[in-house]
Amino acid sequence: MKKEINSKIARRKKSVIIAAAAASLTFLASCSSSSSSSSAADAAAPTALQGDGQTIALSLNGVVDYTKYVAQGFLKGLEGTGYSVKIVQANFDVQTELKNLEGLISQGVAGIVVQPNTIDTVLTAAKEAQTAKIPTSLALWAAPGPLDSYMKGVSALDSVGGGQMIGEYLKANAKPGEIIVVQGVVGQGFSEKIDEGLDASLKGTGFKVVVRKQGFFDRNKAIDIVAAGMQAHPNVTAIVDYAATMGDGISNWLKQQGKTNITHVTSDGDEEMLTWMGTPYLAASRYYSAADTGLLAAKALVDSLGGKTPTFKNDVFQTMMTADNKDATLAAHPLNYPELASKTGL
């Protein structure tokens, strides 16, 4: 009898041990599963990006291919951040530009990149932005001036140097004589600086500027200036314009008129300009990438908003582009980022 009782007690102890072991394994499995789920959730959680929930705005002076490329570069400069974007344009009108900028300030955007129409307008808005603690950067900057103390960074284009480049090209490749110059918009600060460099380069040579007028980045206005200038000065040997959007129209007009003995030089670049390059109607461009200007200004603003000390003066590469160096130049400094075109809304 005693032996039977001991046997039952032994069996009962064994059952308790097995049950305890099972419970222990269940607890460990539960902990392991919970730990694994937690780790997986942590791994799946998105990393917060600089700018999440904030907006950076781009103010353009108007809409032409050039400014579309600025916008594409701007978007390229924001890659890797969480900023949303807002892009406005002023139709090359100073009142609209100021209204656009003041609207962005009142909306409380995190920062603004400005591609300026006129310095005076942007200066007024930049002061208001600083008061509102909204940092700004400039997508095109010609020289030190009153805007500098309000900007976190600028895309610096040596416009005097660009004018000198054009002058040196003409002295080496064009027949001395009378020149028609089609400016962009006087008041931006860029046409005036190109004029300065061009005039300095051509001083004391056989070249003489006989027409110098604003084309307002409008191909039809540029054509009208050239047509009237050629009528008044039929011995013109060279035409210089300060934007490819105008130069495209001038090239087309020269072709229509059958004029193949005039050296035509433009500035910056667009897709149509590349088709004229190397023909009798377009010899060269003082090229720089509009996309570069947007990209550099955006990066300076992002650095500032991220607590870094941005580089204030970000130099924009420029060179005299011809049919001979076109491909190599574009490979190093793309005209645009077409994969981002649809995201600009322009």
Q: Tens of pLDDT along 254-290? A: 999 999 999 999 999 999 999 999 999 999 999 999 9
Same-domain check for residues 137 and 237: no
In a domain, residue 270? The reply is yes
Domain that holds residue 141: 55-157+290-318+336-344
CA 299 to mean position of chain CA atoms: 10
- pTM for this prediction: 0.81
Same-domain check for residues 63 and 107: yes
Same-domain check for residues 135 and 153: yes
Q: Measuring CA to CA, how many Å separate 182 from each of 34, 36, 189?
A: 72, 69, 15
Same-domain check for residues 133 and 201: no
CATH number of the structural domain spanning residue 173: 3.40.50.2300
Least confident of 10-14, 68-72, 109-113, 181-185: 10-14
**pLDDT value for 9:** 36
The C-alpha atoms of residue 319 and residue 137 are separated, in whole angstroms, by 24
3 has a pLDDT exceeding 70: no
Beta strand 319-321 with 284-287 is: antiparallel
In a domain, residue 40? The reply is no
Same-domain check for residues 165 and 279: yes
The SS3 call for residue 237 is strand
Same-domain check for residues 122 and 231: no
Q: Are 115 and 139 in contact (CB under 8 A)?
A: yes
In a domain, residue 273? The reply is yes
Please, which residues have CB within 8 angstroms of residue 158's CB and are 6 or more apart in sequence? Answer: 315, 318
Same-domain check for residues 127 and 198: no
Same-domain check for residues 268 and 167: yes
**pLDDT value for 142:** 86
Residue in this structure with the two tokens 């550099």, named with its chain if needed:
296
In a domain, residue 10? The reply is no
Quick one: what percent of the chain has pLDDT higher than 90?
83
pLDDT digits 0-9 by tens, 52-61: 999 999 999 9
| Among candidate residues 193, 241, 189, 195, the one with its CA nearest the CA of residue 218 | 241
H helices present in the chain, as ranges: 2-44, 65-77, 94-107, 119-131, 159-173, 190-202, 219-232, 244-257, 271-276, 290-305, 326-332, 341-344
Task: Count structural domains, the chain.
Answer: 2
